[in-house]
Structure 1
Amino acid sequence: MGLPTYTVQQLALRNGQDRDEIWVAYQGNIYDVTKSRLWRDGKHYEHWAGQDLTQELADAPHTEKVFDKFEVIGVLG
C-alpha cells in the first residue's frame, strides 16, 4: 500500500500555525519536520512550512540530503 496523497491545501494547513503538524514538500514527497528545532513555529530562515520547497532549495546553503533525516509521510497530489 502506498503513501497517502495530500493536496496543496492540506499541506498548507500543516504550517506550524493552524495545526501542530509541520510539513514541507520536496519533489512530490511530503516530509514531517515537526520534531526539528530548525522548523520551530513553522519557519526555517526565510522558508515557511506548509509549502512545496522544491524551487526554493536552489537558494539553500545545503543539498537535498537534508531531507534524508525526515520521514516521508505522504505525496503531494
Structure 2
Amino acid sequence: MNGLPQYTRSQLALRNGQDKPEIWVAYFNIIYDVTESRLWLNGKHYEHWAGQDLTEELAEAPHTHEVFERFTAVGVLK
C-alpha cells in the first residue's frame, strides 16, 4: 500500500456518505472507497456507518476481510 495518501480520522469522517459524496471506510489502517457499493447507500451498511475505522466492528461480521478486495484502496489512516 505504499504510495497511498495519508488521511486523518477527521478527514475519513467527512467521507461518510452525508458530508461529501465519497463513502469511505477503514480496515486495518487502509481506507477503502465503497461509494459504488449498493450495500453502502447513504453511508450505512446494516449497523455500520461509513467514515470510520471498522476494524474492531468487523471482527464479528459474517464475511471475511476478503470482502475488501472488491474495493479500491484510496489511502492510509494515520
Give the TM interval when normalised to the shorter protein. Answer: over 0.9
Matched residue, 1:25: 26
Q: Deviations over 1:20-58 (max 9, x none)?
A: 000000001000000000000000000000000000111
Q: Which structure 1 segments of 5+ residues have no match?
A: none
How many residue pairs align between the two structures? 77
Aligned to 1:44: 45
CA distance in 2, matches of 1:58, 1:52: 12
Structure 2 CA distance, aligned partners of 1:7 and 1:14? Answer: 11
**Which amino acid in the other structure matches residue 28 of structure 2?**
Q
RMSD: 0.8
| Superposition misfits of 4+ residues, deviation over 3 angstroms | none
Q: Secondary structure at the match of 1:25?
A: strand
Return the alpha-carbon distance in structure 1 between the equivalents of residues 9 and 36 of structure 2.
21
Instruction: Quote the residue 1:53 is aligned against.
Output: 54
TM-score w.r.t. the length of structure 2 is 0.96
**TM-score, structure 1 as length reference:** 0.97
